[in-house]
Structure 1
Amino acid sequence: MEHNPDFSSFLHHIAQHVSLTQPEKELFVSMLRVKRVQRKQLIEQPGFISSHRTFIVTGAFRAYFVSPDGQEHTLSLAIDNGMIGDPGSFLLQEPATLFVEALETSTIVQWSYESEQILLEKIPQFSVAMMRRATQIALTIQRRVIAQLSLSAEERYDEFVQNHPLLLHRIPLYIVASYLGMTREFLSKIRKQKRISKR
Structure 2
Amino acid sequence: MNEIEVFAWCRERLHVLCPGLTSELIDELSLGWRVVRLDKREHLAEAGCIHKEAFLVAEGLVRAYYPDVEGDVTVNFIAEGDFATHYTSLEAPRPSHFAFQALEPTVAIAFSYEYVYQLSQRRCEMERLLRVLLEHEYTRLMAHTECLLMRNAEERYRHFLQNFGPLLSRISVSDLSSYLGVSRQNLTLIRKRLLDE
Give the TM-score taking structure 2 as reference length: 0.92
Give the Å deviation of 1:123: 2.8
In structure 2, the residue corresponding to 1:4 is in which secondary structure?
helix
Q: Hey, what's the Cα distance between the residues in 2 that align with 1:127 and 1:89?
A: 15
- Where does the alignment leave 5 or more consecutive residues of structure 2 unmatched? none
Paired residue type of 1:156: R
The equivalent of 1:52 in structure 2 is 53
The equivalent of 1:6 in structure 2 is 6
The equivalent of 1:101 in structure 2 is 101
1:135-146 aligned at under 5 Å gives the runs 135-146=135-146
- 1:103-137 deviations in Å (ceiling 9; x for gaps): 01110001112111122123322211110111111
- Identity, in percent, stands at 23
- 1:54-106 deviations in Å (ceiling 9; x for gaps): 10000100010122x33211111111111112222343210121111000111
The equivalent of 2:64 in structure 1 is 63
1:27-38 aligned at under 5 Å gives the runs 27-38=28-39
Give the TM-score taking structure 1 as reference length: 0.91
Q: Hey, what's the Cα distance between the residues in 1 that align with 2:83 and 2:169?
A: 19
How many residues in Structure 1 have an aligned counterpart in Structure 2? 194
Aligned CA RMSD, in angstroms, stands at: 1.5
Matched, 1:194 2:194: yes
Q: Hey, what's the Cα distance between the residues in 2 that align with 1:19 and 1:148?
A: 35
In structure 2, the residue corresponding to 1:101 is in which secondary structure?
strand
- 1:142-190 deviations in Å (ceiling 9; x for gaps): 1112111111100000010001112112111211111111112211110
Give the Å deviation of 1:44: 1.1
The equivalent of 1:184 in structure 2 is 184
Q: Is the 8 A contact 2:29 2:116 kept in 1?
A: no
Q: Hey, what's the Cα distance between the residues in 2 that align with 1:155 and 1:22?
A: 43
Paired residue type of 2:148: Q
- Where does the alignment leave 5 or more consecutive residues of structure 1 unmatched? none
Q: Hey, what's the Cα distance between the residues in 2 that align with 1:23 and 1:85?
A: 25
Paired residue type of 1:150: M
Q: Hey, what's the Cα distance between the residues in 2 that align with 1:119 and 1:7?
A: 19
